[in-house]
Amino acid sequence: MRALRAITVTAIAVVIAAMPGVASPAQAELGLPLSAGAVATGSGGAVATVDADASRAGIDVLRQGGNAVDAAVAAAATLGVTEPYSAGIGGGGFLVYFQAATHRVFTLDGRETAPAAMGPTAFVDPATGQPLPFADAVTSGLSVGVPGTPATWAQALSRWGSRSLAQMLQPAIQVADRGFTVDETFAHQTQDNAARFAHFSSTTALFLPHGRPPVVGSTLRNPDLAETYRQLARHGVDWLYHGRLAGEIVDTVRRPPLVAGDPYRAHPGVLAAPDLGAYRAIVRDPTHVQYRGLDVYSMGPPSSGGSTVGEALNILSHTRLSAADPVGALHSYLEASRLAFADRNRYVGDPDQVAVPLEQLLSPRFAAQRACLLDPQHAAGGPVPPGDLDGGYHGCPPARGSAGGATKEGPNTTNVVASDRWGNVVAYTLTVEQTGGSGIVVPGRGFLLNNELTDFNFASTQGTQPDPNLPGAGKRPRSSLAPTIILRNGLPMLAIGSPGGATIITTVLQILLNRLDLGMTLPDAIAAPRASQRNTATTEAEPEFLNRYETALKARGHQFITNPEIGAATGLDFFEPGKVCAAAEPVRRGGGSALVVRPS
């Protein structure tokens, strides 16, 4: 699935740095090998994903005359086969699209929705009055929201594509029929989920053949998913939202298919057929901030990705960041993230059901007030309160209120970036939430259902203040997905996205910091070790980050815990007209795959 041969970051950096308009690579060696397929430069369009089969599906569409939207859908559908624990038609996501003909940026909200019967105490155990254990809520029908991915594909193709959904499903059907080679990442993820997969007969049959995870190097076929895709190609997505498959999804959620005799209590969901029939993918306005003279566009609520990345960039615009002082730059990055997450947790939810003060959150005046709380030498040392959105923003008043907690979000998602010869660009992040979603495969259909509703807060985290992210009828839970497109003088410069739950926000932000402020090439910026501060007492950091920076940052008051791997990003970096560098992870999640139509 993923390329394995390694080459050095330095070799790639030298090639890319020689291209006009590209910043020189970071001076420090990254200490991470690049897989042979992790970087590609050229023209005619590009695709980058975590998986070689998916990237190949997208690039083949471009070579056959399709556009960036077509390629993104074909790649995403293939990821539903080869990365089923991260994405698929049982999940949802957000798509950001730059339209070259109009120089406009559009966003499509394909977030899952809660059933009409779901109320604010849905995840509270009535017997105890306490929130359900998170693990029990995840592996259940109760966690499943109405899938948004099929509607996203259909609407994106209808509005901006040049090919039909039936055509764009064909590469995925072929992969599902012939199978894909199980790599170490897939085998490890299966093993990690084996205990909960084993509760469900349909999941066991697909992912635990002979009662065991598939071995590395074996071939995993999914004929049920191939047939499901064929039915979608034949009947359209109405078959899922209004037809036979809708009924099968409802039955699965309300009566999870437990293995006979299994004592596990899989909480049934309350999803009903009208919930699927009412689903719509929504075109929304993108978030927009200016940073260092560039226009940064991303996804607005119900995702908190665009607002939180945008606010943090606004805060960082008040600081001087330089590769000559990486510790100072990283300190500012972590503290800006802390402040922006405090505001994210307090104010962001589904804009159709709660009043999200997005304009104020992205206001330069609000950012200036928040930036004055950033001490260049000392970390805050713990959670900070959210800012006061009073509209005044005079001086630096002390923050008021309590520091509310955040949702526990699953780490597994996936990202697709694509461009075409006409200059259109897509950044598309899609997910089923946890690794393996709810753990429940729809019997005979070959795909996992999401557990996105566990992105709601199970109980209020805001004290006496209203909590914008409690469950509600038809509500979309707050997300952290942050597909991002950056324009320079009205033309694409960067497209970025990543998986990782709430660390998505910090991953995208740190890659932008690396690329725009610290002079790294995009492959370097993606490969560099990461840390994630989300308004908590401790900062999660990868081992290599700690090796390099822990001592210096501890001296400024930061405390760390180890996270073995943060994110698995993909991105595009545009040079002179028509030239693009596509980049994926060199190592994380087994390494990604980047392809261009005409390599140079």
Distances (CA, A) of 254 to 143, 249, 267, 296, 339: 11, 9, 9, 42, 40
How far is residue 299 from each of residues 108, 154, 307, 348, 500, measured CA to CA in Å?
8, 19, 8, 12, 16
By DSSP bridging, strand 539-541 and strand 282-284 are: unpaired
Residue with tokens 């304009």: 359
> What SS3 class is residue 393?
coil
Task: Report the phi/psi class of residue 415: left, alpha or beta, with left for phi > 0 and alpha for psi in -120 to 50.
Answer: beta
Q: Determine phi and psi for 191, rounding to 5 degrees.
A: -60, -40
Burial class (CB within 10 angstroms; exposed 0-12, middle 13-18, buried 19+) of 245: buried
Distance CA 589, CA 269 (A): 31
SS3 107: strand
3-state secondary structure of 33: coil
User: 244 CB contacts (<8 Å, ≥6 apart)?
Assistant: none
Cα separation, 418 vs 402, in Å, equals 42
Q: Are 249 and 240 in contact (CB under 8 A)?
A: yes
Q: Is 42:600 a contact under the CB 8 Å cutoff?
A: yes
**Would you call 295 helix, strand, or coil by DSSP?**
strand
Report the C-alpha gap between 108 and 161 in whole angstroms.
13
Rounded Cα distance, 94 and 498, in Å: 12
Quickly count: other Cβ atoms within 10 Å of residue 4's Cβ. 12
The residues that are catalytic are: 413
Length of the chain, in residues:
600
The torsion defined by the Cα of 132, 133, 134 and 137, in degrees rounded to 10, comes to: -50
Phi/psi at 283 (nearest 5 deg)?
Answer: -80, 120
CB within 8 A of 529, min separation 6: which ones? 30, 31, 32, 541, 542, 543, 544, 545, 547, 548
